[in-house]
Amino acid sequence: MGKLHKKGPRLPVGQSARGSSRRTIAAPKDPQTIQSDRFTRRTVLLGAGGLGLFGLLASKLHNLQNIEGRKYKSLAEDNRTATRFLPSIRGKIYDRTKTLIASNSQNLRVLLIPDQADNVATSLDLLSRTIPVSTRQKQRILRIARRQNPQIPILVTDNIGWRQFARINVLGQRIPGILSDISWRRQYHYGEEFAHIVGHLRPPTKLQLAATPAFRLPGTLVGANGIEQGFNDVLQGESGHQQFEVNARGRNIKALAKKPSIDGADLYLTIDHVLQQRILKRLSPYRRAAVVAIDVNSGDVVAMCSTPTFDPNILTHPIDEKRWRELKNAADTPLSDKATRGQYPPGSTFKMVTALAGLEAGVITPKTKFKCTGVMEWHKHKFHCWNRSGHGYMRLHKALKQSCDVFFYQTARKVGIRRLAAMALKLGLGEVYDCGLPGQKAGLIPDPDWKQVIKRRVWFGGETVLAGIGQGYVLTTPLQLAVMTARLATGRKVEPRLAHTKDKAPRLVPRKLDINENSLKLIRKAMTGVINDRDGTGPKAALGWPGLQMAGKTGTSQVRGNQSIKAGQKLEWKYLDHALFVAFAPASNPRYAISVIIEHGRSGGKVAGPVARDVMKMLLIRDPVQRLSQALLPDPARPENSTPSLTSKRDDL
């Protein structure tokens, strides 16, 4: 203001001075006033700008909470809770003698979750004060930690002792990222003996994952093959889960909800591991063979062997890749269960079916005679008997004993394929049994409809004739042949049983088959003759125990179709005939039925017969019903009631 007054004298006084003074303030303002005005203006400007920016903050807040709030709420919930699965422990598998076949071995492990460790190397160093961690291990873990998702646990060591495990449980809490856990590893005892029966475990397939969400639990293994697969529902149990509130480090703060796991039930097999061992040993001279033994009263499969076999522990996850490949490509297909998946022409072991079909249909009687000249000509086709010189006049009993092909050609021709097939099905052939064993093959009992649908050809009469002796299209599995023999021996609809969940097997009495008992008696008598009569085809199968006879039937089935071979021609092994034998004993009061197949064994009577005899002896000696072994076994050195000594005695079989 002082400066303005100095300028004053130049201006006129009075009103004009007032007016001009107003003008001076308005036009050439003094710099300080300009500065002051600018300050005011710019403060307001900045204030407005600040308010605008706060508006931006408020709109962002509104956006986060009211527009995207739901998304962030669910993210907050995801953050807060973690679900830990509680795995169920798989049921154990015992055999007939309550011996452990499949169990779970505890594997105590130390794991490291990189995400929860401040520094992986430091955590490992701290850990190495409790359990040894080698430099190489450390490097391996550090390498993995760099590569993979930091939330996936890395295995530090496994198979540690309980003492170390307890120490880790206490100390591990203080080492960030370190945790201990117990994992279960399936272990198979008597692995080779039960490889095909019990199966093994593997991670669930995509299909299984889709069907059963519980399988998504990390580390879940499900049965692959065998009883492990067939009874998976029983063995698996039910996994539970526990929900926790967790903090940012993943440490549990408090438990929220819990659904406990239900462990799987134990399973009892009908198979006897001692028999398995002995039978496999007996089969060891042969490249590929199978034996099935059934308790004819209950249907319990007491032995079922397929050779060659393998150790299922190799296939159990984690799989031994190299050995698995070896097994898969091995020449004699050890992975394939020949007892239930091998399909063979039954050959002459099928003749009981033809005979029964003929008797039941009334086309033959026990007195019906056919003449065997070594060949039957029919519709310009020649059907040869195995005995080229012919058997002469044959009635049923003798024809079965001597396995005369022509007699059964004639019978089959008369009875027709449909009635033949019906009888085969009635006796359990061409069927997959509901016994919890996956992958069973059905074999093949052909009839015209099947041929029309599958082969798109009409059925020829000659094919009926061939079916009559178990050749042509007919295919059976060793299990089916054993079931057939059991049904012939009892006249009841025996169903095979492999496992049950009760400690004591529930008692089963199969219903009677709709077959005339007299016809069955005839067949049984002839089967007894096969082994025990001088003119039978299977005298080598005779037990040699006075008072206890085995009944059976030989089978030598052609592999290379029905063309004949030139004399003296040396055939490759794979073209040799299969040797088959079915039998039951004791003939008078059947207890066990067995079937034996030796692939390319040439002769049912000479090769499969002795195997059947030895297997039956093993069965009878192991029989828990003591009256058999005590009353009937002729061995004077037999110790009283003592199974262990009996078994040692029988090791020479």
Partner 1 sequence: MSNASLPLPILRKLTRLPWVFLAIISLIAGIGILTLQSIQINNVAIYADQQLIRYLIALAALITIAMVPPVIWMRLSYPLFALAIMLILLVPLIGVSPPGAGAKRWLMLFGVSLQPSEFLKITLVLALARYFHFAPANKISHPLYLLVPALMILAPLLPIFLQPDLGTAMMVAMIGAGMVFLAGVNALYFITAIILFVSALPILWANLLPYQRERIFTYLDPERDPLGAGYHLLQSKIAIGSADMWGKGAMQGTQSQLNFLPEKHTDFIFAMFTEERGFMGAMGLMGLYIACFGLLSLMALRTKNLYGRLVISGMALTLFLYVFINMGMVMGLLPVVGVPLPLMSYGGTSIASIMFGLGIAISTYVHRSNKA
Tell me if residue 271 falls in helix, strand or coil: coil
Contact range with partner 1 by CB under 8 A, out of 67-75, 257-265, 383-391, 523-531: 67-75
Q: Residue from 17, 152, 166, 253 that binds partner 1 (CB under 8 A)?
A: 253
Which residue, 78 or 640, has its beta carbon nearer to partner 1?
78
Q: Which of 159, 169, 247, 516 binds partner 1 (CB under 8 A)?
A: 247
User: 3 to 32, contacts with partner 1 by CB under 8 A?
Assistant: 30-32
Residue from 4, 17, 25, 61 binding partner 1 (CB under 8 A) = 61
- Judged by CB under 8 A, the stretch of 33-41, 89-97, 212-220, 598-606 that binds partner 1 is 33-41
Task: Tell me which residue of 448, 382, 444 sits closest to 409, measured CA to CA.
Answer: 382
Strand, coil or helix: what is 353? Answer: helix
Q: How far apart are CA 561 and CA 550, in angstroms?
A: 31
Contact 107, 183 (CB under 8 A): yes
Verify binding: residue 75, partner 1, rule CB under 8 A. Answer: yes
Cβ 142 to partner 1 shortest distance, Å? 19
The residues that bridge with 450 in the sheet, in sequence order, are none
Residues 6+ apart with CB under 8 A from 20: 11, 12
CA distances from 286 to 188, 359, 396, 643 (A): 25, 37, 33, 29
Query: CA-CA distances (angstroms) from residue 457 to 73, 117, 420, 450?
Result: 69, 72, 19, 10
- Spacing of C-alpha 311 from chain mean position: 14
| Closest to 290 in 3D by CA, of 442, 481, 474, 150 | 481
Residues in contact with 249: Cβ distance below 8 Å, sequence separation at least 6, in sequence order:
116, 176
Residue from 71, 146, 371, 455 touching partner 1 (CB under 8 A): that is 71
Alpha helices in 318-416 (DSSP H): 321-329, 338-341, 351-361, 396-402, 405-415
Minimum gap (Å) between residue 159 Cβ and partner 1: 32
Pick between residue 32 and residue 329 the one whose CB is nearest to partner 1: 32
Give me the 39-58 binding string for partner 1, x by CB under 8 A, dash otherwise: xx-xx--xx--xx-xx-xxx
* Residues between 566 and 605 that touch partner 1 (CB under 8 A): none
Among 7, 23, 38, 84, binds partner 1 (CB under 8 A): 38
CB of 64 to partner 1, least distance (A): 4
On whether the CB atoms of residues 82 and 94 are closer than 8 A, the answer is no
Q: Which of 4, 17, 19, 65 binds partner 1 (CB under 8 A)?
A: 65
d(CA 515, CA 499): 29
Q: Output 68 or 434, the one with its CB closest to partner 1.
A: 68
Nearer to partner 1, 82 or 633 (CB): 82
75 vs 170, beta carbon nearer partner 1: 75
| Strand 93-94 relative to strand 267-269, pairing | parallel
Least Cβ distance, residue 110 to partner 1 (angstroms) = 24
* Binds partner 1 by CB under 8 A, chosen from 7, 60, 84, 259: 60
Options 7, 8, 19, 69; binder of partner 1; rule CB under 8 A: 69
- Using the Cα atoms of residue 392, residue 397, residue 402 and residue 407 in order, give the sign of their dihedral: positive
Residue in the block written with tokens 């203001």: 1
- Closer Cβ to partner 1, 174 or 574, answer by number: 174
* Region from 64-72, 185-193, 323-331, 499-507 binding partner 1, contact rule CB under 8 A: 64-72
Q: Which is closer to partner 1, CB of 3 or CB of 507?
A: 3
Q: At what angle do helices 135-147 and 120-127 cross, to 10 degrees?
A: 150
As a whole number of angstroms, the distance between CA 381 and CA 187 comes to 57
The residue among 244 and 584 lying less far from partner 1, judged by its C-beta, is 244
Residue closer to partner 1 by CB (options 144, 633) is: 144
Which helix (H) or strand (E) segment is 643 a member of? helix 643-649
Closest CA to 499 of 279, 170, 259, 229: 229
Q: Which of residues 227-246 bind partner 1 (CB under 8 A)?
A: 245-246
Structure tokens at 295: 């308790």
Q: What is the DSSP string of 150-215?
A: TTS-EEEE-S--HHHHHHHHHHGGGSTTEEEEEEEEEEETTHHHHHHHH-EEEPPPHHHHHH-GGG
- Return the number of the residue (64 or 571) whose C-beta is nearest partner 1: 64
| Binding segment (CB under 8 A) for partner 1, from list 35-43, 415-423, 454-462, 484-492 | 35-43
Least CB distance to partner 1 at residue 117 (A): 14
Which phi and psi angles does 188 have, rounded to 5°? Answer: -110, 125
Distance of closest approach, residue 179 Cβ to partner 1, in angstroms: 19
**Rounded least distance, CB 226 to partner 1, Å:** 44
Of 41 and 521, which has the nearer Cβ to partner 1? 41
Q: Is the CB of 115 or the CB of 181 nearer to partner 1? A: 115
Query: Which C-beta is closer to partner 1: that of 32 or that of 135?
Result: 32
Judged by beta carbon, residue 47 or residue 639, the one nearer partner 1 is: 47
What three-state secondary structure class fits 35? helix
Minimum Å gap between C-beta 336 and partner 1 is: 49
Q: Is residue 200 within 8 Å of residue 316, measured between CB atoms?
A: yes
d(CA 39, CA 32): 10
For partner 1, give the closer residue by CB, 242 or 336.
242
| Minimum CB–partner distance for residue 60 and partner 1 (Å) | 5
Contacts with partner 1 by CB under 8 A: the residue count is 43
Q: Could you tell me if residue 219 is left (phi over 0), alpha (psi between -120 and 50 degrees) or otherwise beta?
A: left
User: Considering only residues 79-98, where is the footprint of partner 1 by CB under 8 A?
Assistant: 79-80
Q: What string marks each residue from 112 to 151 as x (binds partner 1 by CB under 8 A) or -?
A: ---x----------------------------------x-
Smallest gap from Cβ 246 to partner 1, in A, equals 7
Please report, as ranges, the residues that interact with partner 1 according to CB under 8 A.
30-32, 34-35, 38-40, 42-43, 46-47, 50-51, 53-54, 56-58, 60-62, 64-66, 68-69, 71-73, 75-77, 79-80, 115, 150, 245-249, 253
